[in-house]
Every structure is written in C-alpha cells, then in structure tokens.
Amino acid sequence: MMNTALYHTLQETAARNGGGMSFAEFMHLALYAPGLGYYSAGLPKLGPQGDFITAPEISPLFSQCLALQCQQILSPLVDGCILELGAGSGKMAAEIIRTLSKHDALPKYYYILEVSADLRQRQQVYLQAECPDFFANILWLDRLPEKPFNGIILGNEVIDAMPVHLFQINDNHEVSEGYVSKIANTWQCTFRTPFTPGLKEAVHQLQQRLPEPLSAGYTSEINLRLEPWLASLRDCLAQGVMIFLDYGFPSHEYYHPSRSMGTLMCHFRHRAHPQPFENIGLQDITAHVDFTALALAAQNCQLTIAGFTHQCAFLLSNGLLSLAENMPQSYLLSQQVQQLIQTHEMGELCKVMALSSNFDEPLQGFTLLDHRYRL
C-alpha cells in the first residue's frame, strides 16, 4: 500500500541519483515530501484514529508539568516566548497555555513551527476553541524566526522523526552505507561503500566513544543533521532554554552489542514494526535519539547542557503527584499517571534534555535526578 504520487517521486529521485538514494533521503521523502509524505498529507496521525499516541494525548498532566517548568524559565526573561516544534494535535500547546494563564505567567507569544498544512489547520481550529482569549498570540511559522527571541524551544518527539542514515559494519570491519533502490518492483535497502559525505568519519568518531568496537554485521542508524539543525535553533534563541523529550539513550546504550539491528521503527494504525518499505507515505518512521550525540552537538553550538533525565523524574520534579491529587480521582487517572511514569511504559524509555543559552538558573525539572554524567 502506497501513495501513487509519492511512488513516482521516489522513482524520479532514484533516477536522478543513478538508480537509488541514501536511506536518509528516502526517509525524508516518505515523511516530508510536500503534500505527499506522511507528515505532509492529511491522514490522521495521533489518537485512536491515527497511528500512535504521545504523552500529551495520554494525560493533560504531562503538559501541565511541562508548563510549570516553562513558568520557571520565563519568570526572569523579558518578553519571553515559547516556540513549539511540531504541535501535533495542539493538546500540549493548549494545556501549557491554560496552566501558565492560571499562574499569570503567559508568554508574549506562543509560536508553532508546523510543516504539515493539515495539522496546522487542525491546530488552529482546536486552539481557537480551547484558548480563545490568547489565540491572537499564537502564531504559526513556516520557518524559524529570523529575529532571535528570549524564551523556550520545545520539541516533544521531534528528533526521532529526523531522517537518519543507515550504516553497517562489514566483514572487513569497515563502514558500509544503506542504499535504497528498487529491486524486483519493491523498494529495498542494500549496503555498499559510503557515498554520503561525512558518514564514514561520523561512524568512526562514534566508535571512539564506545566501550568496544562494533562487531561485523552490526547495523544501526546515525543522525548527521543534528548539529546544523541545533545551530539553526541556537541562532534564533537569544536567551533561554531548549527542552527535548524523546525516546533514546546515551551512545553506550544506543549502540550496545545487544542492539545490533538499530532502533528504526515504523508505526501504522497502532502497530509497531521495523519495515520502512511497507505503507510508504502512510506510516510513521522513527529512530531513537542518541542523546550523547545531541549533547556533543550542543557543545559544538556553544549551548550548555542544563539537564538530562528520564520522563518519570522530570514529571515528578515538576509536581506531577500534586497536580494529580487536585484532579478528580478515578481509575483512568491512575492509569494515565502509571503510563507516564512507570519504567516499562514511558517513564524511563523517554528521556528529557535541556540545553540553555545565556541562562544559568538551575532547572527544577532535574531536581530529583540528573543523569548528565551518563552522557
């Protein structure tokens, strides 16, 4: 099953490139080809009618906790704003705005950078209904702000949707790159001599920070776009904090010998599977985040690593239990809290990293547990 127009786009791209493309280019087209990719087309993505569910969809408590962290950051800033990267259904934005309003701590503007025209329209309808008094201060952007602002940049499950390159350690213990081409009328990935500039060197640098070299046959992915992407965010944040929440690990866990097939995963109608060449353009494709790589990129961009922990500790540090106590008690509420903080649910699988620019105040979300030393 596949979008016909997207199929032709892939064919044309492969033809221009001599018959194929890097996996990163394939992933970019499958997710973001204008009007055709998964995030650019109009199919439902979140919730029961979509393909997956995120923390803001599970419970408003998640966004309320995040809002309290935002309140602390906004407090000393002049004309502080919030920029959310990809706002999904708009639920997180709505709950953050409501919570900050209760504490008389609203930002000057709440920016939303959204690549999907369909999601943008859904967000506008939803937020106009949920936040009518503040709606004029919610601004949708096509690109990052040109003028640097003070405030916060939020990215919830954003980095895991960035295109990644596939690599494999071959029998000669050298690096091979995943190459996507059409074989026997189906799209497939084969490994060959690296053709993407910088890939071989990036994998060598990765191996230098691992406890032991990757063995022959080891297959995984690497994000080569982290540093330029982070640099573009740094350039638009004069003073404040970036907060990224995502599934992932430090490098030594990400590239552990037991994880020899990488972390690439697809989501289609609430079924997770590792087949990116099924349902092309109709399913999500993700890879976990290497938080050590994110930290190194941050340092190269002159950003300060202000905290690193898991979702459970971050939410508890921001008052999750107190917020839950003030809500009507029910079995559903208990389920929601457990799903957010339990180890085998999202509690420890999802991590939180804060990066600061000209902001020195310790962040309350990392009070209970700060794992920066594990990076």
Cα–Cα distance measured from residue 375 to residue 370, given in angstroms and rounded to the nearest whole number: 11
- Residues (pLDDT < 50) of the chain are none
CA–CA–CA angle 85, 30, 47 (5° rounding) = 55
The count of structural domains within the chain is 1
CA dihedral (322, 137, 353, 122) positive or negative: positive
Q: What CATH number has the domain bearing residue 31? A: 3.40.50.12710
| DSSP summary character for residue 176 | E
Helix and strand counts by DSSP (H, E) for the chain: 13, 16
Pairing of strands 271-273, 265-268: antiparallel
Task: List, as one string, the DSSP characters of 100-165.
Answer: HHHTT---S-EEEE-S-HHHHHHHHHHHHHH-TTTGGGEEEESS--SS-EEEEEEEES-GGGS--E
pLDDT, residue 47, reads 65
The answer to whether 309 and 365 are in contact (CB under 8 A) is yes
The three-state secondary structure class of 332 is helix
**Residue 282 is encoded by which pair of tokens?**
């109709």
Q: Which domain holds residue 110?
A: 1-375
Cα–Cα distance measured from residue 299 to residue 355, given in angstroms and rounded to the nearest whole number: 9
pLDDT, residue 61, reads 97
**Residues 132-174 pLDDT 10s:** 999 999 999 999 999 999 999 999 999 999 999 999 999 999 9
